[in-house]
């Protein structure tokens, strides 16, 4: 086997038959579900837990994202939970005892217009007040961090500068999922694959059980972590969520010798790209504008992505697209997640992460586990309640992702 990666352990997890009942059922065996199970067991001693996955473990958005990790979000609420996540990332390899290839290679968010510059500088200043490492770089400094970016003034949308978060970076998504899975399984959590939740049973305003393709499973608490399918599952309990599901595309190139030392994101021209450990360029493309659960997007979005990428990175001209794919992301009106309680007792929700789910994995797992264990939100996820849509206290992060929602 290719030895550019550390070896995996000889044991990952077993595949138990589901029991009839658990204290906690987590719906969705992606990164968030697995991290939640892990922190439930580790931080709260709750191990009578099943993670139900409709397909193969971490085979949804966890397997499809571009693995960027950063915490340089604009609003205090967002910075709080993402920075908590980043601190956990920094110790996660030791914590899980699994080589997750977390590489703090820094993230550049490029600015291409005076408006971009204002917004970027605003974010840098906000980040610093929140203890998030952030710098504003001139085009020349951008070139020093990432020599292959074309910072010349004569491109269609010149680089006018960038925000830089040195502690940001990437990690190997499968390894992260498997690290959480292995550690959770070792503490007694049941990881159950090919088990689709088809309904949530509610009686007297309280959750009772889930119906699955492998039978009814009773639960004291049902915690949703089903990403793009959250609203479908919640609807079976009569809970409506302010999310819309869209395909989000990504692609990789062939393996290439190292040329790209960091992560570059550009809001204005819709590019985000890093070079993964094996050498492939991993790129995020745009989000398809219409609701869809089809795990593939439209091709013109990839074409536009390439045109934008070559404006910034002429050296990529003759690289090849090897694979394209899409995840399905659930997007909220303010581009911030919903993590907390619902009108149904014992039914909790964690959804609406849009493009930000992967980077939050340990942070949200930590907070969601707290919410499950205590029946009320951790202070870091309290602002991300469902009620904010009624009060109007939104956390509008539309400027924060590389994709305009």
Partner 1 sequence: MLLIPCPWCGPRDEAEFHYGGQAHVAYPENPAALSDEEWARYLFFRDNPEGRFAERWNHTAGCRRWFNAVRNTATNEIEAREVIA
Partner 2 sequence: MTSRRMAGWQGEPVRFRFDGRDYEGVRGDTLASALLANGVRTVAASPALGRPRGIYAAWTEEPNALVRYGVEPMAQATTLDLTEGLDATSLRGRGRLSEEPDTSRYDAVHAHCDVLVVGAGPAGLAAAAAAAGTGARVIIADDRPVAGGSLPDTAETVGGVPGDEWAATTLAELGGRPDVRVLSRTSVFGYYDDNYLVAVERRGADAYSRERVWRIRARQVVLATGAHERPIAFAGNDRPGVMLAGSARAYANRHGVLPGARAVVFTTNDSAYAAARDLAAAGVEIAAIVDTRDTAGHAQDGTEVLTGHVVTAVGGDEGVSSVTVSGAGHVDREIEADLLLVSGGWNPLVHLFSQAGGELRHDDATGSFVPGPVRQAVEVAGAARGVFTLAGCLEDGAAAGARAAEAAGFRMGDAFRIPETPAEEPAEPAAHLWLVEAADYATHFVDLQRDVTVADVMKATGAGLRSVEHVKRYTTAGTAHDQGKLSGVLTSAVVGHALGLPLADLGTTTFRAPYVPVGFSTLAGRDRGALHDPVRTTSLHEWHVAYGAPFENVGQWKRPWYYPRAGEDMEAAVLRECHAVRTSVGAMDASTLGKIDVQGPDAAEFLDRLYTNMMSTLKVGAIRYGVMCRPDGMVFDDGTVIRLADDRFLVTTTTGNAAAVLDWMEEWLQTEWPHLRVYCTSVTEHWATVALAGPGSRDVLAGLAPGLAVDAASFPFMTWRDTEVAGLAARVCRISFSGELAYEINVNAWDGLALWEAVMGTGTVTPYGTETMHVLRAEKGYPIVGQDTDGTVTPADLGMDWVVSKKKPDFIGKRSFARADTSRPDRKHLVGLLPADPGRLLPEGAHLVETGTLPEPPVPTLGHVTSSYRSAVLGSTFALALVSGGRDRMGEELYVPLGDELVPVTVTSHILYDPEGARRDG
Residues 181-200 that bind partner 2 (CB under 8 A): 193
Residues 278-297 that bind partner 1 (CB under 8 A): 289-294
Contact status: 117 vs partner 2 (CB under 8 A): yes
Binder of partner 1 out of 18, 166, 220, 333 (CB under 8 A): 333
All residues at 6 or more sequence positions from 62 whose CB lies less than 8 Å from its CB, including other chains? 30, 31, 173, 174, 176, 177, 358
Residue whose structure tokens are 């579900």: 33
Least distance between partner 2 and beta carbon 159 (Å): 12
Sign, CA dihedral 74-165-106-383, equals negative
Alpha-carbon gap, residue 45 to 39, rounded angstroms: 9
Residue 196: left (phi > 0), alpha (psi -120 to 50), or beta? beta
Binder of partner 1 out of 65, 245, 305, 350 (CB under 8 A): 245
Contact status: 302 vs partner 2 (CB under 8 A): yes
C-alpha 337, offset from chain centre: 11
Residues 154-183 that bind partner 2 (CB under 8 A): 155-157, 174
Nearest of 279, 272, 228, 277 to residue 250 by alpha carbon: 272
Binder of partner 2 out of 43, 97, 115, 376 (CB under 8 A): 115
| Element holding 357 (H helix, E strand) | helix 357-374
293 binds, among partner 1, partner 2, none (CB under 5 to 8 A by kind): partner 1
Contact status: 361 vs partner 1 (CB under 8 A): no
Binder of partner 2 out of 166, 304, 341, 345 (CB under 8 A): 304
User: Of 52 and 301, which CB lies nearer to partner 1 in the complex structure?
Assistant: 301
Cβ pair 186, 105 in contact under 8 A: no
Least distance between partner 1 and beta carbon 384 (Å): 14
CA dihedral (284, 287, 292, 293) in degrees, to 10, reads 20
Per CB under 8 A, which region of 113-121, 155-163, 230-238, 271-279 contacts partner 1? 230-238
Per CB under 8 A, which region of 23-31, 65-73, 120-128, 210-218 contacts partner 2? 120-128
User: Of 27 and 142, which CB lies nearer to partner 1 in the complex structure?
Assistant: 27
Nearest of 37, 41, 77 to residue 57 by alpha carbon: 37
Binder of partner 2 out of 42, 54, 123, 229 (CB under 8 A): 123
DSSP 332: -
Contact status: 249 vs partner 1 (CB under 8 A): no
Binder of partner 2 out of 25, 52, 110, 124 (CB under 8 A): 124
Contact status: 389 vs partner 1 (CB under 8 A): yes
Least distance between partner 2 and beta carbon 82 (Å): 12
Distances (CA, A) of 351 to 68, 86, 229, 332, 355: 19, 19, 9, 9, 11
Least distance between partner 1 and beta carbon 36 (Å): 22
Q: Which two tokens stand for residue 26?
A: 């987590």
Nearest of 47, 91, 356, 295 to residue 190 by alpha carbon: 47
Cβ pair 102, 93 in contact under 8 A: yes
User: Of 43 and 307, which CB lies nearer to partner 2 in the complex structure?
Assistant: 307
All residues at 6 or more sequence positions from 404 whose CB lies less than 8 Å from its CB, including other chains? 267, 398
* Residue 110, strand partner residues: 162, 266
Residues 65-124 that bind partner 1 (CB under 8 A): none
Contact status: 17 vs partner 2 (CB under 8 A): no
Q: Which two tokens stand for residue 123?
A: 């974010």
The binding track of 240-279 with respect to partner 2, each residue x by CB under 8 A or -, is: -------------xxxxx-x------------------xx
Residue whose structure tokens are 């399905």: 328
Alpha-carbon gap, residue 371 to 379, rounded angstroms: 10
Q: How many residues bind partner 1 (CB under 8 A)?
A: 24
Contact status: 396 vs partner 1 (CB under 8 A): no
Residues 305-344 that bind partner 2 (CB under 8 A): 306-311, 314-325
Residues within the interface to partner 1 (CB under 8 A): 229, 231-232, 235, 240-245, 289-294, 298-300, 330, 333, 389-391
């Amino acid at each position: 086997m290719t030895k550019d990666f550390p070896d995996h352990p000889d044991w990952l997890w077993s595949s138990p038959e589901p029991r009839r009942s658990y204290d906690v059922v987590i719906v969705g065996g992606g990164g968030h579900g697995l991290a939640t199970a892990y922190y439930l067991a580790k931080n709260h001693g709750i191990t009578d837990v099943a993670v139900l996955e409709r397909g193969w473990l971490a085979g949804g958005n966890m397997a499809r994202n571009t693995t960027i990790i950063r915490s340089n979000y604009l609003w205090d609420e967002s910075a709080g939970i993402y920075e908590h996540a980043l601190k956990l990332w920094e110790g996660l390899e030791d914590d899980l005892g699994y080589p997750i290839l977390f590489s703090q290679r820094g993230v550049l968010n490029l600015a291409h217009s005076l408006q971009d510059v204002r917004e970027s500088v605003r974010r840098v200043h906000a980040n610093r007040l929140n203890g998030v490492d952030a710098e504003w770089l001139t085009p020349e400094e951008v070139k020093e961090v990432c020599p292959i970016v074309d910072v010349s003034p004569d491109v269609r949308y010149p680089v006018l500068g960038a925000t830089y978060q040195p502690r940001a970076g990437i990690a190997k998504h499968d390894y992260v999922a498997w690290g959480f899975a292995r550690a959770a399984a070792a503490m007694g959590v049941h990881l159950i694959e090919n088990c689709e939740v088809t309904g949530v049973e509610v009686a007297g305003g309280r959750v009772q059980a889930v119906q699955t393709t492998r039978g009814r499973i009773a639960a004291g608490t049902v915690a949703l972590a089903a990403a793009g399918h959250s609203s479908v599952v919640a609807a079976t309990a009569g809970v409506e969520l302010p999310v819309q599901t869209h395909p989000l595309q990504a692609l990789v190139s062939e393996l290439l010798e190292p040329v790209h030392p960091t992560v570059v994101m550009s809001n204005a021209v819709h590019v985000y790209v890093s070079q993964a450990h094996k050498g492939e360029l991993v790129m995020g493309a745009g989000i398809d504008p219409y609701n869809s659960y089809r795990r593939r997007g439209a091709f013109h979005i990839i074409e536009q992505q390439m045109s934008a990428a070559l404006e910034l990175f002429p050296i990529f001209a003759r690289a090849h697209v090897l694979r394209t794919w899409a995840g399905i992301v659930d997007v909220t009106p303010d581009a911030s997640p919903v993590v907390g309680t619902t009108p149904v007792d014992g039914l909790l929700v964690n959804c609406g992460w849009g493009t930000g789910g992967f980077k939050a994995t340990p942070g949200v797992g930590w907070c969601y586990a707290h919410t499950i264990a205590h029946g009320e939100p951790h202070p870091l996820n309290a602002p991300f309640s469902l009620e904010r849509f009624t009060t109007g206290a939104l956390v509008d992060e539309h400027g924060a992702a590389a994709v305009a929602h």
